A = this chain, B = another copy of it.
């Protein structure tokens, strides 16, 4: 029996959307006020979904306490109260759009999960804008 377990978490961070190899004008043309050089920020809400078989012994797909800890260590500690562009090595040359942040988070959590578990992440940048990614 395959089920999906979901766990929510959040982090607050600053970012700006821009490419170093573009002029400020080009960045503003494409990314608008999101390219503000002084940064802006968000309360990112994250939902992590893990799909697998129920363990008949425990009744768990995976222990949500372990998933909570994994999200804390892989996402909340490194991302919370940080400037994504300036302080996260993953975004040194990668534009921190919601899409790219979701892919980075997915890759970090994927490495820590057992192979037989499927992973999907949903990332809210604002209550009205969000993205979902389930790998390739």
A109: shortest Cβ distance to chain B, in Å?
A: 15
Decide if B99 touches A61 in the complex (CB within 8 Å).
Answer: yes
Decide if B86 touches A38 in the complex (CB within 8 Å).
Answer: yes
Contact of A42 among B2, B43, B59 (CB under 8 A): B43
A120: shortest Cβ distance to chain B, in Å?
A: 10
Interface residues of A, count at CB 8 A:
62
Decide if B42 touches A41 in the complex (CB within 8 Å).
Answer: yes
Decide if B41 touches A7 in the complex (CB within 8 Å).
Answer: no
Q: Given A3-B132, A126-B12, check contact A95 B36 (CB 8 Å).
A: no
Decide if B132 touches A4 in the complex (CB within 8 Å).
Answer: yes
Decide if A39 touches B132 in the complex (CB within 8 Å).
Answer: no
A-B CB contact pairs (8 Å), 30 listed: A1-B136, A3-B99, A3-B103, A3-B131, A3-B132, A4-B132, A4-B133, A5-B130, A8-B127, A8-B128, A10-B127, A12-B126, A14-B38, A17-B59, A32-B65, A33-B81, A34-B81, A36-B81, A36-B82, A36-B83, A38-B87, A39-B39, A40-B41, A42-B42, A43-B43, A43-B126, A43-B127, A59-B95, A59-B100, A61-B99
Give me the 5 closest cross-chain CB pairs, A-B, nearest first.
A41-B41, A38-B83, A59-B97, A59-B95, A33-B81
